[in-house]
Amino acid sequence: MLINRASDIPSSEITSEGIYHNRREFIKTASAAVAAAATGLLLPACTEAAAPQLPGKQPGKYDTNEKMTPYEDVTTYNNFYEFGTGKDEPAKLSRSFKPLPWTVAVEGLVKKPAVYAYDDLIKGLTMEDRVYRMRCVEAWSMVIPWLGFPLADLIKKLEPLPSAKYVEFTTLNAPDRMPGQRPSFFGGGLKWPYVEGLRMDEAMNPLTLLATGLYGKALPNQNGAPIRLVTPWKYGFKGIKSIVKIRFVDKEPGNTWKLTGPSEYGFFANVNPTVDHPRWSQASERRLGEFLKRKTLMFNGYAEQVAQMYSGMDLRKNY
């Protein structure tokens, strides 16, 4: 049976997220296009790939009931430039990465700053399964059952000062463990470490998760082990992986993609079908494993829970 694989996605949608294309990426993209063209006629035949369901899981109030993207796709079609710029590279090049032991430094405008061992950081927080849509700015999307806890629960435990207006996150910077960070690596040209930020109300929104697993299992390395951010109403790039630092600040923090290409990526990065990225339409998306495109929903379908945070803001300027 022929399953519509991630590699069948048209080359126009699997180009590098970075603004600096490299030759290797181009060659890979071109050969994927040839492969897609060769199998193109067979694509619609059998798109009912078995999506494993979570046994015994009752849909919660934040869960989408859409079909989950197969585990295989969620864990082999990734963006994680620390392990290479190709979608297939993080799964391969992160194989020997050891996420534990792990520490997370909590800094800035907060009552309980410390370098927390991973177990101490998550102590007392209640883990939940949450099935969320994820949409990448490159116009592909997935449905992923995350395991994690609301970021709000951790923030309350850490007790930020009233002067804290934003939360800044930083990914591990360790070229010896993350080959994509080595100067010798023919990579995506990002400045390390990868950084990301949220406004305090976004960080406190009940949808915002720190994920430590997916499909009920520990987070695979390529998905951001051992702990990563998930903000389902924002483009995938806000979901910073392998977090080693959380800092409470009073000014809007930098975020890697905006720092890389401010004309293409903003701070808010809310999923918005009416505001196009210069290189990709944001009006529709292709769900991994599906043939036909679907319309992209405002705030990725989470408008009811998040729209009020942006009332009065010009989302064309604040993209």
Ligand X SMILES: Nc1nc2c(c(=O)[nH]1)N[C@H]1C(S)=C(S)[C@@H](COP(=O)(O)O)O[C@H]1N2
- Give residues in contact with ligand X (CB under 6 A): 17, 78-82, 136, 171, 194, 223-224, 236-237, 239-242
Smaller CB separation from ligand X, 242 or 296: 242
Q: Could you tell me the CA-to-CA distances from 85 to 133, 225, 275, 286 in Å, in that order?
A: 23, 18, 25, 20
* Nearest distance from C-beta of residue 77 to ligand X, angstroms: 7
Helix, strand, coil % over all residues of the chain, rounded to 5? 25, 20, 50
* Nearest distance from C-beta of residue 194 to ligand X, angstroms: 4
Smaller CB separation from ligand X, 58 or 263: 263
In this structure, the strands spanning 284-287 and 140-150 are parallel
278 Cβ contact list (under 8 Å, min separation 6): 263, 264
Smaller CB separation from ligand X, 8 or 89: 89
3-state secondary structure of 294: strand
* Nearest distance from C-beta of residue 136 to ligand X, angstroms: 4
Site residue total, Mo ion (CB under 5 A): 4
The partner in contact with residue 248, picked from ligand X, Mo ion, none with C-beta cut-offs of 5 to 8 angstroms by kind, is none
Asked if residue 240 binds Mo ion (CB under 5 A), the reply is: no
Q: Which of 113, 218, 118, 233 is nearest to 161 (CA)?
A: 113
Q: Which of 37, 24, 33, 136 is nearest to 77 (CA)?
A: 136
The partner in contact with residue 75, picked from ligand X, Mo ion, none with C-beta cut-offs of 5 to 8 angstroms by kind, is none
Binding mask 61-90 toward Mo ion (x if CB under 5 A, else -) reads: ------------------x-----------
Asked if residue 136 binds Mo ion (CB under 5 A), the reply is: yes
Which two structure tokens, joined as six digits, stand for 154?
Answer: 């951790």
* Nearest distance from C-beta of residue 114 to ligand X, angstroms: 23
User: Residue holding tokens 């998905």?
Assistant: 223
Asked if residue 237 binds Mo ion (CB under 5 A), the reply is: yes
